Copies of this chain bind each other. A is one copy, B any other.
Amino acid sequence: MREGIRFLLIGGDLRYRYLAKELLANGYKVCVYGFESEEIDTSDDCGSPSLKEAVEQSNVIVLPLPVTVDGKTLNAPYSNVPILIESLFELITGDKLVLGGIIPQVIKDVARERNLQVIDFFEREELSVLNAIPTAEGAVAIAMEELPITIHGAKCLVTGYGRVGRLMEKTLNALGAKVTVAVRSSKDMAWLKVHCTDSMNIGQLAAENLCDFDLVVNTVPVTVLTEDVLKRFKEDVLIIDLASKPGGVDMEAASRLGLKTIWALSLPGKVAPKTAGIIIKVTILNILEERKT
């Protein structure tokens, strides 16, 4: 499988340093572009080519995660110069496989027009599942740092029971917390019963007694923690919001009520860049494997 594959990593953050290392350790050829200000391992024969040469020499091009922040240039914090997405795509031919995380629709459209093979690895289920591990650990680390009590014995409310919700439930339970998960469906309630975890109806939080909770972790990207719900927590509760924009907490109300709220986004790359890099590697190799068959 490894033969003939030569990766080019263009841009990316600390995770990509580990991604390069791991791909090399798995026996692949790996070159990089846009990593001038951070040490990174590459194959011996990479040299210091121009972007054009780098693209030509590779057959799998890995763009950053996220691909871009500003919509125009690649997200390349370790690059000395901005890398324009448009210029890059002009260099890419249809025989290359282009991978990237969170690819804007406009780029996907361009790629389709030009018959390029572009795959967004961030849309892969295994990446989302595996990323839930560092996310949950990151949330636990924040709670350990902020709370004057141990997680063991802490009364915790998790809102939502998707991937991150499930990992939060698992991790907090494992540490000996008393966990309640707020969910919508009777199916989710059944799964929580399987796990001997208490459940609440997420639609009726404003009618529940919530004043015992020491820690609340939201995983739902809609405002479930409204003012009416927030009012029911005790004043020294810690609220961690893991939901992507727009988040799940009415921040203004939380601030008015004096509730400590931390909006923790993109934890995997922050708390465990090496693990996050390995997760990207696993996902990329799965993509390559599936294309073979």
Which residue numbers of A lie inside 8 Å of B, CB to CB?
14, 18, 124-127, 129-130, 132-134, 137-138, 140-141, 144-145, 147-153, 167, 170-171, 174-176, 178, 185-187, 189-191, 193-194, 196, 271-275, 286, 290
Contacts and interface: CB of A to CB of B under 8 A. Distances in A.
Contacts of A127: 190
Contacts of A14: 148
A150 B150 CA distance: 19
Contacts of A130: 190, 193-194
Nearest to A203: B293
Contacts of A18: 148
A171 to B, nearest CB: 7
A215 to B, nearest CB: 13
Q: What is the copy number of this chain in the assembly?
A: 4
B275 A187 contact: no
B126 A186 contact: yes
A286 B186 contact: yes
B144 A140 contact: yes
Nearest to A189: B126
Given A133-B153, A174-B175, 13 more contacts: A14-B148, A125-B186, A129-B187, A129-B190, A130-B193, A133-B152, A137-B144, A137-B151, A141-B141, A148-B275, A149-B275, A174-B176, A175-B175
Contacts of A193: 130, 153
A155 to B, nearest CB: 12
A176 B196 contact: yes
Given A137-B175, A174-B175, A150 B275 contact: yes
A148 B272 CA distance: 4
Contact of A144 (B141, B152, B274): B141
Contact of A194 (B167, B194, B272, B290): B167
Nearest to A290: B186
Contact of A126 (B152, B170, B187): B187
13 contacts: A18-B148, A124-B186, A126-B190, A129-B187, A133-B150, A137-B151, A144-B271, A147-B272, A149-B274, A171-B175, A174-B175, A174-B176, A178-B196
A144 B151 CA distance: 14
Contact of A174 (B144, B148, B174, B274): B174
